[in-house]
Chain A
Amino acid sequence: QKEVEQNSGPLSVPEGAIASLNCTYSDRVSQSFFWYRQYSGKSPELIMSIYSNGDKEDGRFTAQLNKASQYVSLLIRDSQPSDSATYLCAVSRGSGYSTLTFGKGTMLLVSP
């Protein structure tokens, strides 16, 4: 089982819709969870972090964490064509580690 799994997509949504991106992880002791956005040919950019169960909102972005189900999601409201990118889920490797494990990413395409 891969440590961090994401559907590679592409996920296609029309402009103005809600995009829902999902991620599951295998290490039950993981404590820190992050979403990165990566435009084609560019490096990843941190957009959200979440550490506790529940929802965390920042502008049009909402991160959701369910540690019991080992599931993290990212919702993007009012999707814009500029949101078209690959979204990477990253998970801390658990107690004693300071590094992150990344999923392969989900490509999001927002059509005008």
Chain B
Amino acid sequence: DTGVSQDPRHKITKRGQNVTFRCDPISEHNRLYWYRQTLGQGPEFLTYFQNEAQLEKSRLLSDRFSAERPKGSFSTLEIQRTEQGDSAMYLCASSLGGTGVEGYTFGSGTRLTVV
């Protein structure tokens, strides 16, 4: 168990380009979450998977954002036509699913800078 892995750690892109981030959760965790965090703010929920099913998506998530978890293991988050307002730390987290809500384990994050 090497924890939650995110790749890349840093990404600088030009406005209008597409970017894709990858997250590998802890192997036995069936729940996977994407959050976004900007300076001075707490993590903001984007979307949530249980196994391969995307069960919840924030209303804040525009149609430029899409996430997948095709085999219930790793997940990708794609942002199309990036805007400067997309600059943030993108955090992936995972947890072991159960009957309640349990604490997440976060990855190290992907810091996106849109120039």
Contacts and interface: CB of A to CB of B under 8 A. Distances in A.
B109 to A, nearest CB: 5
Interface stretch (A12-20, A40-48, A53-61, A75-83): A40-48
A34 interface: yes
B51 interface: no
A99 B106 contact: no
B42 A88 contact: yes
A67 interface: no
Contacts, number: 58
B42 A104 contact: yes
Interface in B93-115: 97, 100-109
Interface residues on B, range: 20 to 34
A92 to B, nearest CB: 4
Interface in A53-112: 88, 90, 92, 97-105
A22 interface: no
A17 to B, nearest CB: 25
Contacts of A102: 35, 42-44
Interface of B: 31, 33, 35, 40-45, 48, 50, 55-56, 89, 91, 97, 100-109
Given A97-B101, A104-B40, A104-B41, 11 more contacts: A4-B42, A32-B100, A43-B109, A46-B104, A49-B102, A49-B103, A97-B56, A98-B50, A100-B101, A100-B104, A105-B42
Interface of A: 4, 8, 31-32, 34, 42-46, 49, 51, 88, 90, 92, 97-105
